[in-house]
Structure 1
Amino acid sequence: MKTIRKVVLLSSALMLLVLPTVTNAEENSNSPLHWGFKKGENGRQADAGRMFEVILEDHGAVYKGDENAKDLYLTFDNGYENGYTAKILDILKKEKVTAAFFITGHYLESAPELVDRMAKEGHIIGNHSWHHPDLTQISDEKIKQELEMVRAETERITGRKHMNYLRPPRGIFSERTMAIAKEAGYTHVFWSLAFVDWNTDQQKGAQYAYDKIMTQVHPGAVLLLHTVSKDNADALENVIRDLKKQGYSFKSLDELMLKKAGMKNPMLY
C-alpha cells in the first residue's frame, strides 16, 4: 500500500510540473494583428472583414459607426508637435467640431500647453501610449505602465481624471493587449478612413489631403489624421465645410459610444 501511495503521489507531482499554468496571456492570443480594411468609396462604408469585426466586437472596440447615419468622428494622432496643432484647434473651434486627440508621452512633455487647450476647448484626449511601442512585444505590467503614465500626466496638465479611449501604436494589437487595456478601463478606437499623411518630408499639398478624405468618406466614418501634416492643417477647414454641405455631422467619440454601447461617462472629467 505504501508503494502504491508513493507512486500515486509521484504521479500527481509530475502532473503538476507538466500541466501549464493558465494566465491571461494564454487565455487571449498574443499573435500580432495589424489593423487594416478595405477603403470606403462612393459613400459605402469601409470594411475590415469578418475576423477583425468579431475580435472588435468581443473586446468592445470600434472602428466605424452607423452605416445609416451621416455622422463622422474626427480623430488625430499626436506623436509629436510639428507646428500645426494650434491651427487645427483654431479651425475646430471656428467650425464648432469636437475631435479626439490620441497623444503620446513625448507630446505631453513637449506640448503641454496644447494638451491643456484641447481639454479646455472640449476635445477628447485619448491614450496613444507613452513610448509608442508595439504593445504585443511588452509585458502585461509594462502595457499598464505605458497607459497609466499618459493618463497621470494628462491629469496633471488638465486636471481631468479619467481617460477611456486607446489607439494602439502603429495599429498593432492582439487579443491579449486588447483584454489588458479593457481591464484598465479603455475602449480601443481604430479607424475607417486614413491615408499616408505622416511623412513630413513627403507632403503633397492641401488638395491631395482633401481628395484623399473626400473620396473615402462614408456614413459613420472614424477619420484618422496626423497633426504633423501640413497638408491636413491646410485642407481641414474646406473638408469640414464641404462635408457639412453634403449633410454630414461631426460627432464625438462619446456620442459614438453612447449610441453603440450606452457608455455613461465622458472620456475626461
Structure 2
Amino acid sequence: MAHAYDTTEYHWSFKPEKDNKPVTTEPHYLELLNKYGGFFIGDTSKKELYLTFDNGYENGYTEKVLDVLKEKEVPATFFITGHYLQTEQELVKRMVEEGHIVGNHSYHHPSLPNVDDERLKRELNKLKKEFTELTGVKDMNYLRPPRGTFSEKSLALSQELGYTNVFWSMAYKDWETDKQKGADYAYNQIMKRIHPGSIMLLHSVSSDNAGALGRVIDDCRKQGYEFKSLDELMMKKVMDNGISN
C-alpha cells in the first residue's frame, strides 16, 4: 500500500538576520527537512560557505564564473535543467572536468508538488540519464527543487530516488537579467548576507554575480571563511550522525 504523504505545497523561505548571523526557517520546514534528509544550511559554528548556482538557461556568464572558480580553486554545485543540459553540453562537461558537482534541477522545471508521482520520477530520471550519457558520471545526488517549491510528498519521493534536497540560506534577487545593477551592488548584497554555514544560491545568468564573484571569494577568505563542497558537508553530516546514533 502506497504511503499517503501530505501534498501541501510550500514555498521555501528563510528569515534573514542582521550582522551576518545564521538564518532560520519555519519550524515545519525544519521538521520536514530533518525527516527526509534535506538541508538548507551547513554547520553554523564554522565559517564555511557553499556556493550553488541554478542554471536553467545560459546567458553568457557561466564561462566567466567557471574561470573565477578555477582561478580561486573554489568548488561549486551547479543545478541544471534539461534545457541547459541539451544546449550547453560543453559547459556541463567543463563543470565535471573541473571538479564541480552537477545537481538535478529537473528536466522541465515544473513545481514538483504539482506533478503526479510518475512525472516527478521522469523529471529527475531523464535528466540524470542524459547527464550520465554526456559525462560518464553515474552519480547525481543532489536536487534543487524547481521554483523553490516542495511538499512532504516531493521530499519523500525524491529521497526514495536517491536525492538530497538542497535549499539555501542566502540569496538575493539576482536573476532578473534586465535589472542588473552592477558588480558592486552584487558584491554588497552578497557580503551583507553571508554567515557561517551559508548555502549560497546565485544565478549565473547574472552579469553582476559574474563580475563580483572573484572579489566576494577573496574578501570572504579575508574574513576567515572557507569554501567547501556539498560532498564535504554530506560527509560531515554522515559522520556526525554516526557519532550521535
Conserved? CA contact 1:40–1:217, under 8 Å: no
Provide the secondary structure at the position in 2 that maps to 1:157. Answer: helix
What root-mean-square deviation, in Å, do the aligned CA atoms of Structure 1 and Structure 2 show?
A: 1.1
Q: 1:130 aligns with which of 98, 107, 114?
A: 107
1:23 maps to 2:8: no
- Among all aligned residue pairs of Structure 1 and Structure 2, give the percentage whose two residues are the same amino acid: 54
Conserved? CA contact 1:78–1:104, under 8 Å: yes
Q: What's the CA shift for 1:155?
A: 0.7
Q: 2:53 aligns with which of 48, 65, 76?
A: 76
Q: 2:166 aligns with which of 175, 189, 196?
A: 189
What whole-Å deviation, never above 9, does each CA across 1:129-166 have from its counterpart, x for those lacking one? Answer: 00000111111111010001110111111110110000
Conserved? CA contact 1:40–1:193, under 8 Å: no
> Partners in 2 of 1:100 and 1:40 — Cα distance?
24
1:150 maps to 2:97: no
1:35 maps to 2:12: yes
Match of 1:111 in 2: 88
Number of positions where the alignment pairs a residue of Structure 1 with one of Structure 2: 240
Amino acid at match of 2:105: H
Match of 2:210 in 1: 233
Which stretches of structure 1, 4 residues or longer, exceed 6 Å deviation after superposition?
none
> Partners in 1 of 2:17 and 2:100 — Cα distance?
26
1:101 maps to 2:82: no
1:67 maps to 2:44: yes
Q: What's the CA shift for 1:67?
A: 1.1
1:244 maps to 2:221: yes
> Partners in 2 of 1:214 and 1:225 — Cα distance?
13
> Partners in 2 of 1:91 and 1:220 — Cα distance?
22
Match of 1:212 in 2: 189
Provide the secondary structure at the position in 1 that maps to 2:17. Answer: coil
> Partners in 1 of 2:122 and 2:228 — Cα distance?
30
Q: What's the CA shift for 1:49?
A: 2.7
Q: What's the CA shift for 1:53?
A: 1.1
> Partners in 2 of 1:207 and 1:156 — Cα distance?
40
Amino acid at match of 1:51: H
Match of 1:90 in 2: 67
Q: 2:233 aligns with which of 256, 265, 268?
A: 256
> Partners in 2 of 1:78 and 1:68 — Cα distance?
30
Q: TM-score, normalised by structure 2?
A: 0.96
Conserved? CA contact 1:126–1:163, under 8 Å: yes
Provide the secondary structure at the position in 2 that maps to 1:201. Answer: helix
Conserved? CA contact 1:41–1:218, under 8 Å: no
Match of 1:267 in 2: none
Unaligned residue ranges in structure 1 (runs of 5+): 1-21, 264-269
Unaligned residue ranges in structure 2 (runs of 5+): 241-245
Higher Cα radius of gyration: 1
Conserved? CA contact 1:40–1:218, under 8 Å: no
Q: What's the CA shift for 1:100?
A: 0.1
> Partners in 1 of 2:18 and 2:191 — Cα distance?
9
Provide the secondary structure at the position in 2 that maps to 1:232. Answer: helix
Q: TM-score, normalised by structure 1?
A: 0.88
